[in-house]
Amino acid sequence: MLSLNDMLRLENLLQTVTDKGNPDYVNANGPFPSTKSHWLGKGYYFWDGLLSRAHWWGERHCEGNYMICRAWAELDDGAYLDLAGNMQQLEDFRSHYEIIKRMHQKREITVSFVIAKLRKDNLFPYQAIRALSNECGGDIAVRFVEIHDSYLNVSPPMQICVYSYNRVHDYHVIYPPKYTATGLI
Range of the domain at 136: 4-77+127-179
The per-residue pLDDT for 36 is 78
**Would residue 145 count as lying in a domain?**
yes
Instruction: Answer whether residue 161 is part of any domain.
Output: yes
pLDDT in tens, 96-135: 999 999 998 877 889 999 999 999 999 999 999 999 887 6
Predicted confidence at residue 151, as pLDDT, reads 67
Which DSSP helix (H) or strand (E) runs through 75?
strand 66-76
106 domain-assigned: no
Reduced to 3 states, what is the DSSP secondary structure of residue 176? coil
With CA atoms as reference, report the closest residue to 125 among 83, 75, 72.
Answer: 75
> 78, 70, 82, 83: which is closest to 30 by C-alpha?
70
Q: How many domains does the chain have?
A: 1
Q: Which residue has the higher pLDDT, 1 or 89?
A: 89
Residue 172 included in any domain = yes
Q: Report yes or no on 168 lying in a domain.
A: yes
Residue 57 corresponds to which amino acid?
W
**What pLDDT, in 10s, does the model give residues 63-84?**
999 999 999 999 998 899 999 9
> Helix, strand or coil for residue 158?
strand
The mean pLDDT of 155-159, rounded to a whole number, is 82
Residue environment code for 136-172, b if the CB has 16+ CB neighbours within 10 A, otherwise e: beeeeeeeeeeeeeeeeeebbbbbbbbbeeebbeebe
The Cα angle at residue 61 between residues 59 and 64, in degrees rounded to 5:
30
Considering the domain boundaries, does residue 97 fall inside one?
Answer: no
Residue 4: the pLDDT is 44
- CB burial class (10 A; 0-12, 13-18, 19+) of residue 86? middle
Q: How much is the pLDDT for 182?
A: 52
Check residue 38 and give its pLDDT. 87
| 82 occurs within a structural domain | no
Residue 40 within any structural domain of the chain: yes
**CA 89 remoteness from chain centre:** 17
Exposed (0-12), middle (13-18) or buried (19+): which is 73, by Cβ within 10 Å?
Answer: buried
| Integer Cα distance of 98 and 123 in angstroms | 15
What does the pLDDT look like over 4-63, one tens digit per residue? 457 889 999 999 999 999 999 999 999 999 987 789 999 999 999 899 999 999 999 999
